[in-house]
Amino acid sequence: MAPPAFVQQLLGYTAKGKPNTADGDSAQSVAIAGQVLEILGITGMAPGAQTGGYALENGLQLFLAGDLPHRDQSRQWKVARGGAISEFQQYAHLARLDQLVKEHEELRVEIGQDYLISPDITVSFDAGLNRPILHAAISCKFSIRSDRVQNIRHESVAMIRHRRGRQPHIVTVTSEPLPSRLAAICRGTGEVDAVYHVCLPELQQAVIAVGNPQQQGDLKESVEQGRLYDIHTLSQHLTI
């Protein structure tokens, strides 16, 4: 199955002639990302890392908004960008907590504010309660660096810890080409349900063609452990 249409606009080459998802300091990153573009038949320029994140969020939002109702018509799905988790039923108490923290400075010092999570994309539905149910919180990463891995885990742990009621799906969607960096998120103790790649079949072909043994092993591990999936399975998993 071909990647969603937005991927063709998301991926491409920079003004310097390198794949826009690649880390220019990593020969393997450049080689694998370039091979992915070749497999997809992409030859033009595309957003750099600064605008790529926006393009990924916007494309994924539109993709899910169209795909989820097609798979499950029993719910009125809402797919939105941004917004605090306190807008949803499981985290409504955090809005009250935040108000108390604003009114009492000493509370901010004592308990911090790590509960103020705003996922890149939220998937929700109305269940007839005071607020909609947060069904999924999605972190979008155009590319992955070590600091972004820690940020993903920090936000995920905060959402798990502070919820009252059912836990939403907590997932990451990325266009990162280097399997060792994908594995950095995939490995762990369940802070993230799973990682979804915008063009996993093409990435697998590229890694077989130009990846070294480490990259091939890391990708195989992530997929076989059920930690890394193609983007087309995200809607399926959210409607099971």
Digit-coded pLDDT (tens) for 84-114? 999 999 999 998 887 776 766 766 655 555 6
- The Cα–Cα gap between 111 and 150 comes to 20
Q: Taking residues 13-40, what's their average pLDDT? A: 96
Q: Looking at the 3D structure of the chain, how many domains does it have?
A: 1
- Residue 161 lies inside a defined structural domain of this protein: no
- The Cα–Cα gap between 239 and 71 comes to 7
Full residue range of the structural domain in which residue 32 is found: 6-83+120-148+167-238
- Residue 43 lies inside a defined structural domain of this protein: yes
**How does the average pLDDT of the chain come out, rounded?**
92
- Residue 160 lies inside a defined structural domain of this protein: no
- The Cα–Cα gap between 186 and 192 comes to 8
Q: What is the pTM of this model?
A: 0.94
The pLDDT tens digits of the residues spanning 123-136 come to: 999 999 999 999 99
- Residue 157 lies inside a defined structural domain of this protein: no
Give the pLDDT of residue 149. 83
- Residue 175 lies inside a defined structural domain of this protein: yes
Give the pLDDT of residue 223. 98
Q: Which residues contact 138 (CB under 8 A, 6 or more apart)?
A: 60, 119, 120, 121, 122, 123, 171, 172, 173
CATH code of the domain covering residue 38: 3.40.50.10010
Q: Which residues contact 122 (CB under 8 A, 6 or more apart)?
A: 78, 79, 80, 83, 85, 88, 134, 136, 137, 138
CA angle 56, 119, 226 (to 5 degrees): 75
- Residue 34 lies inside a defined structural domain of this protein: yes
- Residue 16 lies inside a defined structural domain of this protein: yes
Give the pLDDT of residue 85. 96
- The Cα–Cα gap between 213 and 38 comes to 21
- Residue 1 lies inside a defined structural domain of this protein: no
